[in-house]
Structure formats: C-alpha cells, structure tokens
Amino acid sequence: MSFETLVRDITGRARAASARTSELRSDVKDAALLRIADRLEEASAELIAANALDLEASRAGGSGGADGLDGPMLERLALDEPRIAGMAAGVRDVAALADPVGEVTRMWNRPNGLQVGRMRIPLGSVLIIYESRPTVTADAAALCLKSGNATILRGGKEARHSNRAIAEIIRAALREGGVPEDAVQLVPDPAREIVDLLLEREDEIDLVIPRGGEALIRRVSERSRIPVIKHYKGVCHVYLDEHADPKMARDIAINSKCQRVSVCNSAETLLVHTALADTVLPDLVSELRGLGVEVRGCERTRSRCPDTVAASEADWSEEYLSMTLAVRVVDSLDDAIDHIRRYGSDHTESIVTDNVRRAHEFVRRVNSSSVFVNASTRFSDGFELGLGAEIGVSTTKMHWYGPMGIEGLTTQKFIAFGDGTLKE
C-alpha cells in the first residue's frame, strides 16, 4: 500500500468511527475504558517483552549508532510492572471522570420564546504525535475515547513495538465491548512522510496535538493544515511582592524552582521587589545555593549576593529545566509585569503578596495561561487544577489556553427549542 493510500485509509476509518464514538453512551465508554485497563495489566509480560525489543534496538543505536538514545530517553521508553499498573490506573481515572459530551453549559430564553443553549460535543478525530514515552498511547486513547473522539496515534519509532502491543490490546478490548476498534488507530509505520500526509487531511482530522520537544511542535505546526494545539516552553516566573510574607516568599520560591526541575511548570526566573532586596533576598539566595541551585543574578542581586553568576540578557528567556534560576530585583509591580510580558512564554506566573490590590492587579493584568496568587507554579497541571487528566498544556490562545483535559477535546454546538417559532 502506498503511503498516500495508507493515510487515506486511516483517516477515512477515523472519520467513520468518530460518527459512532460521538454517540456512545457514557456507560459503554466507561466499561470499555475499564476493560482496557484490565487487559493492559493482564498483558504485562507481553508488553514488557515488546518493550525489550525497543530498548534493545535503541541501545544498539539502529544503523550505525546514529539512533542510539541517551539515558533519560531510555528511561522514558522503558516499561515495567509498576509503569504498566500506572498506565492502567490512568485509564481508570479517565473512566471515573464525568462525561463532557452532552453537557449543556448554559441555556437562556429569547424574547420570542425561543430557548437557546450550548451543548458540548466531541471534536471528531484527533491526531496525537508523540515521542518516546509508550504510556502516551493509552493516556491519549483514553481521554479521546471518553470525550467521544476517534484517535489516530503516531508514536515515535523508538517505541514502535511497545506502541503496537498497547494499541492491539486497546483495540481488542474495544471490540469486546462493541465499540468500533477504529476509534483508536496506531499509524503502523512511523515514517515522517506519513506524518506529512496526515497533516494535509484537514477534512478528516479536526485537531493535531504534538506531544514532545520544541522541534517536533514547530515542525508539526509549520506543516499542518489542521489546527494544532501547541505546547511550547515554560519560562515561569515567581514575583515576590513588597507585601509578601517572608516565610511564604521563601517557601514558594523554593518549591516552584526545586520540587521538580525538569518540567515546564517549574520556575525559571525569580523577580524580587526592591523592598525585599536587603531582607528576604540574601538569605533566600544562599538557601537556594545550598540546595544546589545555580543563581544567575542581575546587578542589584549580585551587589547583595556577590557569589552569584551574572545573568546575561539571554538568561531572562531561558527555559533551564535544571537547577538554575535567574533572579532580578524590580522596582514595582509594573516592572515585574513588564518583565513577564517581555520575556515570558505565556505559561505560568505566581505572585506572592498579602496585599489584595496587588494580587488582583497581577491576576487582572498578566495574561499568561496560568496566573497564581500565593501558590507554587508547580500547580499548573491538569491533575493539580482539578481537570482530572491532561492531554497537554496549551500556550496558544485559540480553542484552549493552559492545562487541557477532556473539556478541551470538545466543542459546543448551539441548540434551540421553539414552538413553531418563525422569523418575522
């Protein structure tokens, strides 16, 4: 089969399946999800065996070693019993969520008696393009199925055996439950040409979500004719206001930076009001350094903390994802907001303050996708914010902004009930 024929076959099947998944009752979807979770756990040995083939190929480095993966990538690729149990638990969590399909979010009456409302419906078919983590196969399929969508999954070539094994188990569980198996399809060949062809099928795919590094996201959004939810980098800020409680300021700064450094919602820049420069800042910097954080400071920071590295202009827009923190002293809330607008990435910012006017001004004026008061930036996450699960974090404003759960996989239609209502 040519790539073109293959792609037409996949997208046609997805479109046909989506007409059926959009109508599935909640109990049928939930039963299918619970069955998927059970079958994944029952097949642990089989999944670990398939995963071993991927790990071996990745360690060997393919043809000539060019594809050899490093330690963290191998770690992400690996499946073991606890990870499979975690994947199954994630699918059960999705089953436990409220069904978004059919929810009427608002309803109102018009003067002529027409009762108008908006009702949630699935988007249709969703293409997920991801890299080395095979557990995404189950996560993404579960969220899309619960929201009534058909999914086309295109995993990384390094995880091809694992992904194929997981997808086959999911499809078998769907068939068992009378759900069309084409509700979840895995692209059988991870060739790039197939991705390019998929990205042209705007009549049969409604949304593309690339999950992976910036290079993947840029490549997909440049080529796609289909809307893309982009999740670019997180240059998150903590701003310690002049009215911050000193202990809370310290706690939130340290938690936002250090609780986990390799994730997009960890803080990369600390902004400190000048009134705290001689009181809170020196101790905080020395504590951060004691925890192993390399502090890159502005001139005013360095005049108080001379052992810190000098920050360059590039540091203000850097997503370190490591134990490094840029620190700048600012004169006012205005200056803090200007800094965030200039260097931020629309991800997550937090103010620490006891002053209600400062808090509300920060919330009102900062239009990043998550804006917090007296809370760690690490809460910018679908689970932590109460969405139940997360398919990504959108840093572009169209359709969805910020952590995205199943609601982001739906849209709303208008519905109206009349009584023979005619336009005059």
Q: Which residues bind a copy of itself (CB under 8 A)?
A: 19, 22-23, 102, 108, 110, 114, 116, 119, 121-124, 206-207, 221-222, 225, 227, 245, 247-248, 251-252, 255, 259-260, 341, 359, 363-365, 367-376, 378-380, 384-386, 396-403, 411-423
182 Cβ contact partners less than 8 Å away, ≥ 6 residues apart: 13, 14, 16, 17, 150
Nearest distance in Å: CB 57, a copy of itself: 36
Asked if 283 and 251 touch (Cβ cutoff 8 Å), the reply is no
* Least spacing, CB of residue 211 vs a copy of itself, in Å: 18
| Rounded least distance, CB 236 to a copy of itself, Å | 13
Closer by beta carbon to a copy of itself, 206 or else 315: 206
Q: Name every residue whose Cβ is closer than 8 Å to that of residue 377 and which is 6 or more positions away in sequence.
A: 236, 237, 238, 256, 265, 266, 267, 348, 349, 350, 370
- Phi-psi region at 102: left, alpha or beta (left = phi > 0; alpha = psi -120 to 50): left
Half-sphere exposure of 54 (CA within 13 A, CB side): 28
CB of 141 to a copy of itself, least distance (A): 20
Name which of 137 and 376 has its Cβ closer to a copy of itself: 376
Query: Three-state DSSP class for 205?
Result: coil
∠ CA 84-87-92 to the nearest 5 degrees?
A: 125
Amino acid letter, residue 334: D
Q: Which residue lies nearer to a copy of itself by CB, 297 or 403?
A: 403
- Choose between 72 and 102: whose C-beta lies nearer to a copy of itself: 102
In the bound complex, what is the minimum distance in angstroms from residue 414's beta carbon to a copy of itself? 4
Cα distance between residue 27 and residue 281, in whole Å = 55
Q: Are 237 and 213 in contact (CB under 8 A)?
A: no
Complex with a copy of itself: residue 65 or 423, whichever CB lies closer: 423
Nearer to a copy of itself, 269 or 380 (CB): 380
The CB-of-70 to a copy of itself minimum distance in angstroms stands at 27
Q: Pick between residue 108 and residue 313 the one whose CB is nearest to a copy of itself.
A: 108
Distance CA 57, CA 70 (A): 13
Alpha-carbon distance of 197 to 381, in angstroms, equals 32
Residue 49: which H helix or E strand, with range? helix 44-60
Shortest CB 25 distance to a copy of itself, Å: 11
